[in-house]
Structures are given as C-alpha cells and as structure tokens.
Amino acid sequence: MDGFPILSLMMAVPMAGAIACLYAGANTARWIALLATLVDLALGVLLWANFDQSGSAAQWQFQEYAPIFGRFAWALGIDGIALVLIMLTVFLMPICIGASWEAIQKRVGEYMAAFLFMEVLMIGVFTAQDIYLFYVMFEAGLIPMYLIIGIWGGADRIYASYKFFLYTLLGSVLMLIAMMWMVHEAGTTDIPTLMAYNFDPHVQIWLFLAFFASFAVKMPMWPVHTWLPDAHVQAPTAGSVILAGVLLKMGGYGFIRFSLPMFPEASAQLAWLVWGLSMVAVVYTSLVALVQTDMKKLIAYSSVAHMAIVTVGLFAFNQAGIEGAMMVMLGHGLVSGALFLCVGVIYDRLHTREISRYGGLSINMPKYAVLFLLFTMASVGLPGTSNFVGEFLALMGIYQASSWVALVCTTGIILGAAYMLYLYRRIAYGEQKNADAAAMPDLSMREMWLLAPIAAAVLWMGIYPESFLAPMRSDIRALEARIASAAPVGDSRIKMGPAVPKAEAHHGEDHSAMSHEKASGEAH
Amino acid sequence: MIDSASLLAVLPELVLTAGGLVLLLTAAFGGDGTARVVNWLSVLTLLVAGLMLPVSMEHGPLAFDGLVRADAFSIFAKALIYASAGAAILLAPRYFAAGGAVRPEYPVLILFSSVGMGMMVSAGDLLTLYVGLEMQSLAAYVLASFMRQDERSSEAGLKYFVLGSLASGILLYGTALLYGFTGSTSFDGIAVALGDGVGKGELFGMVFLLAGLAFKMSAVPFHMWTPDVYEGAPTPVTTFFGSAPKVAAMALTVRVAIEALGPAGLDWQQIVIFVALASIIFGAVAAIGQTNIKRLMAYSSINNVGFALIGLAAATPAGVAATMSYMAIYVVMTIGAFACILQMRDAQGRPVESIASLAGLSQSRKGLAAALGIFMFSMAGIPPLFGFWAKFLVFDAAVAAGLTALAAFGIAASVIGAFYYLKIIKTMYFDEPATAYEARGGAVENVILTACAVVIVVGYLLNPVLDQASAAAAASLF
C-alpha cells in the first residue's frame, strides 16, 4: 500500500458518483450511488486490512501531502481513531442509500448526489491532517445536509433546516478564529505538530472555549442540543441515520483530536463544565425522551443522552474513559442509525411517527419485532451488544475521575432502559388497536438487507470488541500520555491490590460479575 | 514636463480614452445600428488596455512627477476593473433589447468610467484622486439613468447624482483641509507632514476624506444611496456598480490610507474598524426583510464592503493583500450572481426582480438555480466555496495583526448574513414552483455564469496565483 493514495481515492469515488448522479435519471442515480458507496466500503475494508496495528507502527498512516492550496495543503493521514470512524461512515452509507431506495421519489439524482457529497466530506473530516482542510470539510457538510433536510424533509422542514444550519455555523465560526490564532502562534497548519505544541495555559482557556462552542453544538451537548430533535424529526430516514450515525461523531472526534491534546490544561480546568453539562444532559434529556409521543424525537433525545456519556468518558482523562467514549460513539452510530431505520420501516407503511398509532406489531411483523428488540436492547446497553462495552468503559473511566459524575451518569442507563422499553412496549406489544397498523406487511427483502448487517455489527462489537479497540489502543495511550500531566485528581481513591500473580484472573472475574449484575438489573 | 516614460505609464488609460472617443464618434455618426459592433469593440478596447498593463509598469512606479503611479497595486486593481467592466458590457444587450433599444452609448460610457477608475487606483496625489473619482462618477450618473423613459431609472440617476455630489463636496473639503494643514497634495508629502504627529486640522481633513471615500464604497453610515440606485438602475448597470467601481473605491481608499495617511494609522484604524463592523451588521440585518433581489444585492454589497475593510483595519501588508483578494473573489461572485439575476425573465422576456418569483427554480431551471445557489452559499462564506476563502483571508490578517476581538465579532456577524443568502436558496430549492421563467438563457450570459461558478467551486487551486499577485500588490504600497 506504500504511496498509493487510498484516502484520496476513497473521496474521489463518491465525488465522481455525485457528479454522475446529478446528470442521471432516477433509477440510474440509485444504482450509481449504491455502487459508489459499495466501492467505498470495499476500499474501507482494504484500508482496515492494511492498517498496521502493531505497537511499533507509526501513529499516522497512509499519509498524503500536496501543497496545492497556497496557505494550506491537501494533507491526509489516519490513526486508529480516525480509521474506526471512517469504517463507520463507509459502512452506514450503502445502508442509507438502500433506505432511500423507495422512500425518495422526487429529485432522486440530486438526493443521491447530496448523500455522496456528504460521504466525501465525512471521510475528509476524519482524514484531514491540515487544520484548515479539516475546517473546510467540517463546515462544508452544512450545505448537503441543509438541502437534504430542506428538500426531502417532513412538514416543518424549512424551520428545521434553518435551525440546523445557523446553529452549527455560529458554533463553528469562532473555532475558525481560534484556529487562525493557533496557526500564527505555532507557525504550522499541520495537525500532528499542533497536537504536540504547548500553548500558553492562559490562552488555552479561550482557545478551548472557541473549539468547545463548535463541538458542543455538533455533539450536541445540553443546552445547545435543541437543533437536533428538530433536524432529526424533519429529515428523511437516511438523513437521520447519517446525522445520528456519523455527523454527531464529528463533535466527539473534534474533542479527541483538538481539544484534549492541544489544550490539555484548559481541558482539565474546564472539565467541571463538561461534566456538569453532561450530567444535566443525561438526566434531563432522558426524562424528556420518556414523555415523547413522536418516535424520531424520542430517539433524538436519547442520542443527546448517549452523547453525554461520550463527553464524560472523554473528559475522564484516562484510557478506559476515552476508549469507552470511542466505543459508545461507534455503538451509538450503529444502534441509533438502526433505530431510525426501524422507524423508517413503519413510517413508510403508515406515514406517521406517532407512537400511539401503532401497537402489537410483533403479531403481524415478527421479523421486524425481533430486530427492533435487538436494537432496543443494544441502545439500553445490554451486555453482548455494542453499547454495553462502551458505556461500561466510559463510566468506569469517569468513576476514577469523579465518583459523583459517575453516579449521576449511570442513572442514564436506568432511564435509558425505561424510555426504550416503554417505546418498544407501545409499538410491538399490547393489543393491535389500530386496524391499519395491524395490516402492515413484515420486512421486505430490501429492508432485511439494511438491518441485518447492522445487527451483525452490533453483536460483533458487543461480543468481540477487541477488533475495534485494537487499532485505537496505541493512539489512545499516546493521548493519555499527552494529557496525563494535566489530569485532575480523582476522588474515588481506587486502591490497586498488590501485584500477586493471581491478580489478573481475579480482575477478569470481577469484571464479568459486575457486568452480570448490571445486565440483570436492566433486563428486569 | 511630459516624458515618454510617463506616457507609457498611463498607456492603458490612453488606449481606453482613444478607443472611447473613436467609438463615440462611430456611435454618433452610425446611430443605434452600430450598437452591436461598438459593444464588441469596447470589450476589445478593454482587452487591449488590459494587455498594456504589464507595459505600463515597466518604467518605474512614478509618472508625471508623482501624480500617477503605475505599480503592482494599480495593475492588480485595474485588471479586476477592466474584467468586470467587460463583463458588464457583455451582459447588457439582451436586457436592453427587452426594454427598448440597444444603444451604443452604454459601452462607451463604461469605457470612460473605466478611465476614471484607472486614474483613481493609480492616483499619487489628491488632485489625481479627485479628477479620477469625478470622471468615474459622471459616467456612472448617466449610466444609472440610462433607461430615460423608465421612472425608476431616472430617479436612481438623480439620487445618485445629488448624493454623489454631496459626497464629492465632503471629499473635496477634506482634501482642502489636508492641503492647508500639511502644505502638500501629494500622498508622499502628506505622509511626511503627518510623520510628526497628527494635528486637529489634519485629523478633520482625514475624517472628511474618509467620509467621502466611504460614500463611494457605500460603507455605513454613507450607504443610503446604494439600495435605491441598485434597484432603480437597469440591471446590467447594477452589475457594473456592484463590481468595478467598488474595486476602484476600495483600492483608492487602501492607497490613501496606507500611502498618504500611513503615519496616522492609529487614528484612521478606529474609523475603519467602526465602519467595517457597522457595514457588516447593518448590511446583514437590513437585507433580511428585502423582497427585491437587486435591493438585497445592494445590502449584500454593503455587508461585503465591511468584510473587505477588516483587512484594511489590520493595516499590514497581509491585510492589504487580503482586502484586494477579497475584492477579486467578491467581483467574481457578484458578476456571477447578476448574470443569474439577468436571466430572471418571465415567459414574455420581461425582467422580474422579486425574490418570490425564484420559487421552485431548481425544478424549472436546474443549472441556473445551481449556479445562483453556489454564489449565495459562497457569499455566505460557507466552505468549500471560494467566498469562504475571501473571508478567511481578511480575518486571518486581522488575527495576525492582533485584532482578534474584531475578527471574532465580524465572523459572528457573518452568521446573520448567512440567513438571507439561505433565504434565496430556500426559495429556489424548497418552495414549490411559482413563476414560469423563460426557458433558456442567452449564450453570453451562460458562458459568464458558468465561468464564474467554476472559479467559485475550484477556486482554491488558484490560491498560489492569487496569493502571489495580491502580496506583490500590497508590497508596492509599503
């Protein structure tokens, strides 16, 4: 793979597809889009296979550099963290195209072009090694998403599209000013160099806040999350999938790539802010989710709660927390995407998102009910599914930093079980009180093909998370080392036992016992 | 004494003057029938004048004992001015054909105006400055009222004339004060006199001078004429007003501020900061309620002048380079956007100006809607379009000069501006089709529009060239 510009190719394929889609008829456009995203998935698999995960490997791999833009360069390169997020993107994209196969009937070519362009930009965000290139990719995503929500969205789409656009734009512009200051100070636009540069701790606070404004909106964190429910509800199904699945992860990626390594002191000083907002988000948005009558809104609020677990994990300043945050991001990307697809499946049949219009679907749609149950359980964090691994690690990490934050955030899991199981009961169980809902046919072959791969990935990630943790491990270790000097002192006072040979086995037992306890607590 | 080197330095202006006079006579004797030929020959004249630009610089920057300067800065500005004047000529015939006769005076007036603008950006003395400015303005007053029978057009011309004369008066008063207190009209002389501290009289002169220039740039608080003139003037003329004279006025302001008033930097810097922020915020807020697209573009131009001035506020070579790059990118976006607006014609070929009539354009005229959408997103400063880079450069210069707070305020205010650009995109893409437009645009319009759109989309590849040219232009002022 030496010297082969695979990252550029991964962006060129959907770009070419997008241009072709603009000029193609409806059906051709669908096939072009599917083909382009599948080729990208294949390239992604190739990328993963060739990624050197050994401990001695270079941190940045597949680097490309072309100084063609004057003040900034086309500089690409990935580490393990970027790799897994790219994999998430290329994995979800063909599913999004498939989900729009029949649901989108007007202006198909433009729709597919917008999605493919979105894929280019998402891969660009995760691969950019030049800070301005990152900004361009990060910000450009607003254009296709604005059009997707505004053209193909629901009844209140125009309000939602404006809100999405202006909220995220206002968040990001201040980050740009901070970037300019940093580049003048450090004299380089190269992200890896900036990650190692020590900025003056007093200035770090301002820089951190400027970046925080952008990533907190993108994440989204309470109280700037209000654009998300609107955008999710109004966006078409595939738009919600990509929004929840990948776009929200850009916020978390931003924290892990910029805020933590570039401003470690400020991150530590302002950790209380992040913790506080996250605690409010976990409890408050979970309670809000509990009373929703609109399925998509419920899942949107649950996203905010899950993302709060990500932020506490990231600001735990230890490896467990950061690994957990990454795993929650991946798991949530899959699970919330799948849940939006599940909503889309029944929305396509009955054209309503009102929970009360459904009921007893397990009778007439058994296959659907099984898959929906799996994703519900994954969202709750049942052991054996992807989210368990992430949430457990993240909470374990934050416990070392602050036991109070851990206590409050863990209630999110209980509340999560409450609103998700309540949702599932109202949709799949109970009487079939609506005749039209009772007459809906079960999953079609196409829908099975959309949900089955996600189900497989969710279980894979839950049963053998090592595949996903391994590529990130050394990068997260490096990050931990970078922020270690600034890390706040924890209040949990964990005492490590003496290093007797049996300790390892004992630890393993403990781990499974705890998870068992947790699982039984949630299942009932 | 006039030597040949001085004459060579003003070669582009000589070409334009000679060409303009010959074409004027052609028009006078040949009548309206010659309009087509005169149109193309005017563009050719501009092209030849543009080719003379490198020649004019060869003989040192100073000509006519310092009255005129032919340096990299004036070349940069003139290239932009000639290009946008050429586009304004090319875009016109179809519009005038629909509203009456195509007249050959239009391109000739633009040529004379270009001579004036050339003198403005080359000025090395307050007298040259004033003569150039008046020459440009006189032609512009006539152009604004070019459609004599149209009430709005005559009104626009009259308003422009009355307010323009007032501004010229203010400017002249400023030059008189500066001359009186510094004893010189040459930029260098003034700079030397200001070097020993800024007196009260000099300060007053400077304020009046800047006020007059702010009027020409249509910067807040001297912007009042802009919306009315933009709306009333025939659309090709509005295209012209929005591009070439803006560049000339901005370049002139930059030159005066740096070359003549350079030693008083701290004094004018605060004026420029105020004018910049006020223009950004006022232009953005006032544009939100507009229903006429030409009026909206007027407020948008006020908004954009504010951004360009942020580069000048930095008062560094990087800042000047950023301002000039901003104008270059802005001109491309403006001409492209007006090429789209010129195509807003109903089924009978009559021009339409209401924003509401754009509804559903993305379904009836896909390409046109996409182009206008690109220009709007670009003006809003959204990457990856080139308009983002323009804003990036001025803010970067401000941050480098230590004006971080100004940059933060300015960029936050740009979000207000994004709102009204989004409104146009929303109308074109989200609303159901309303007015049926003419099925196809003219060939010339489409070529210009496509060229502008391509520049805006792949503009980043031009960065090395633009960086080099604007840096050279800025370096010649310091």
Query: Exposure string (b/e) for B259-296, b if CB count within 10 Å is 16 or more?
Result: bbbbbbeebbbebbbebbbbbbbbbbbbbeebeebbbb
Q: Which pLDDT belongs to residue A483?
A: 87
Residues of B in contact with A71 (CB under 8 A): 396, 463, 467
Instruction: Over range A269-293, report the average pLDDT.
Output: 91
Per-residue confidence at B348, pLDDT binned at 50, 70, 90?
Answer: confident
Q: Which pLDDT belongs to residue A421?
A: 92
Which residues 276-315 of chain A have a CB within 8 Å of chain B?
A: none
Q: Which pLDDT belongs to residue A501?
A: 65
How much helix, strand and coil, in percent to the nearest 5, is found in chain B? 80, 5, 15
ipTM of the complex model: 0.91
What stretch of H or E contains A92?
helix A80-99
Say whether B187 sits in a helix, a strand or coil.
helix
* CA B87 remoteness from chain centre: 13
In this complex, the residue of A142, A150, A158 whose CB is nearest that of residue B382 is A142
Distance CA B364, CA B345 (A): 13
Instruction: Over range A243-253, report the average pLDDT.
Output: 90
A115 neighbors A360 (Cβ within 8 angstroms): no
Residues of A in contact with B460 (CB under 8 A): 68-70
Report the chain B residue with the minimal C-alpha distance to residue A172: B412
Which residues from B are below 8 Å from A when comparing CB atoms? 362-363, 377, 382-384, 388, 392, 395-396, 399-400, 404, 407-408, 411-412, 414-415, 418-419, 422, 425-426, 429-430, 460-461, 463-464, 466-467
Distance CA B442, CA B215 (A): 35
- pLDDT over 50 (residue B115): yes
Instruction: Over range B16-41, report the average pLDDT.
Output: 90
CB-based contacts of B174, cutoff 8 Å, min separation 6 = B204, B205, B206, B207, B208, B209, B210, B211, B212
* CA B369 remoteness from chain centre: 24
Please indicate whether, in this complex, the C-beta atoms of B461 and A69 are within 8 angstroms of each other.
yes
What are the pLDDT digits (tens) for A346-366?
Answer: 888 888 888 888 888 888 888
B17 neighbors B46 (Cβ within 8 angstroms): no
Q: Which pLDDT belongs to residue A362?
A: 85
Please state the pTM of the whole predicted model.
0.91
Q: pLDDT over 70 for what percent of chain A?
A: 94
Q: Which pLDDT belongs to residue A500?
A: 66
Say if residue B472 is exposed, middle or buried (CB neighbours under 10 Å; 0-12, 13-18, 19+): middle
Q: Which pLDDT belongs to residue A509?
A: 46
Q: Which pLDDT belongs to residue B220?
A: 86
- pLDDT over 80 (residue A493): no
What are the pLDDT digits (tens) for A361-406?
Answer: 888 888 899 999 999 999 998 898 989 999 999 999 998 888 888 8
Distance CA B408, CA B167 (A): 32
In this complex, the residue of B407, B429, B464 whose CB is nearest that of residue A147 is B429
Tokens coding B194:
């200001």
- pLDDT over 80 (residue B441): no
Q: pLDDT over 90 for what percent of chain A?
A: 38
Which residues 114-143 of chain A have a CB within 8 Å of chain B?
A: 132, 135-137, 139-140, 142-143
Which residue from A373, A368, A370, A358 is spatially nearest to A439, judged by alpha carbons?
Answer: A358
Cis peptide bond upstream of A223, omega within 30: yes
Per-residue confidence at A137, pLDDT binned at 50, 70, 90?
Answer: very high
- Which residue type is seen at B70? A
CA distances from A85 to A138, A295, A470 (A): 14, 27, 14
* CA B127 remoteness from chain centre: 22
A234 neighbors A300 (Cβ within 8 angstroms): no
Chain B interface, best mutation among A11, A147, A167, A169, by max B CB count within 10 A:
A169
Q: Which of A2-6, A46-50, A97-101, B445-449 has the lowest mean pLDDT?
A: A2-6
- pLDDT over 90 (residue A428): no
- Which residue type is seen at B376? M
What are the pLDDT digits (tens) for A195-239?
Answer: 888 888 889 999 999 999 999 998 888 888 888 888 888 888 888
| DSSP conformation class of A355 | G
Q: Which pLDDT belongs to residue B112?
A: 95
In this complex, the residue of B363, B412, B463 whose CB is nearest that of residue A170 is B412
- pLDDT over 90 (residue B23): yes
Residue identified by tokens 């459609």 is: B147
**First-to-final CA distance of chain A:** 50
What are the pLDDT digits (tens) for B287-300?
Answer: 988 999 999 999 99
Chain A interface, best mutation among B365, B376, B411, B420, by max A CB count within 10 A:
B411
Which residue from B330, B313, B329, B287 is spatially nearest to B423, judged by alpha carbons?
Answer: B287
CB-based contacts of B477, cutoff 8 Å, min separation 6 = B71, B73, B254, B255, B258, B259, B317, B320
Which residue from A126, A174, A166 is spatially nearest to A142, judged by alpha carbons?
Answer: A166
Which residue from B381, B410, B387 is spatially nearest to B398, judged by alpha carbons?
Answer: B410
A469 neighbors A323 (Cβ within 8 angstroms): yes
- Which residue type is seen at A113? A
Quote the Cα angle for A189-A194-A195, to 5°.
140
Instruction: Over range B343-358, report the average pLDDT.
Output: 83
The count of CB pairs under 8 A between chains A and B is: 87
Radius of gyration of chain B (CA): 21
Say whether B351 sits in a helix, a strand or coil.
strand
Distance CA B44, CA B166 (A): 35
Distance CA B79, CA A254 (A): 42
Neighbours of A408 (CB within 10 A): 19
Is A180 in CB contact (< 8 Å) with chain B?
A: yes
Instruction: Over range B65-81, report the average pLDDT.
Output: 91
B335 neighbors B448 (Cβ within 8 angstroms): yes
Bridge partners (DSSP) of residue B292 are: B354
Per-residue confidence at A491, pLDDT binned at 50, 70, 90?
Answer: confident
What are the pLDDT digits (tens) for A15-55?
Answer: 999 999 988 888 899 999 999 999 999 999 999 998 888 77
B99 neighbors B147 (Cβ within 8 angstroms): yes
Q: Which of A235-249, A425-439, B196-210 has the lowest mean pLDDT?
A: A425-439
CB-based contacts of B457, cutoff 8 Å, min separation 6 = B374, B384, B385, B386
- pLDDT over 80 (residue B282): yes
Neighbours of A89 (CB within 10 A): 26
Counting every residue written for chain A, the total comes to 524
Counting every residue written for chain B, the total comes to 478
B15 neighbors B45 (Cβ within 8 angstroms): yes
Domain extents for chain B?
A: 4-475
CA distances from A224 to A127, A178, A220, A278, A285 (A): 27, 20, 6, 12, 12
Bridge partners (DSSP) of residue A61 are: A78
- Which residue type is seen at B439? A
Residues of B in contact with A181 (CB under 8 A): 399, 404
Per-residue confidence at B41, pLDDT binned at 50, 70, 90?
Answer: very high
Per-residue confidence at A522, pLDDT binned at 50, 70, 90?
Answer: very low
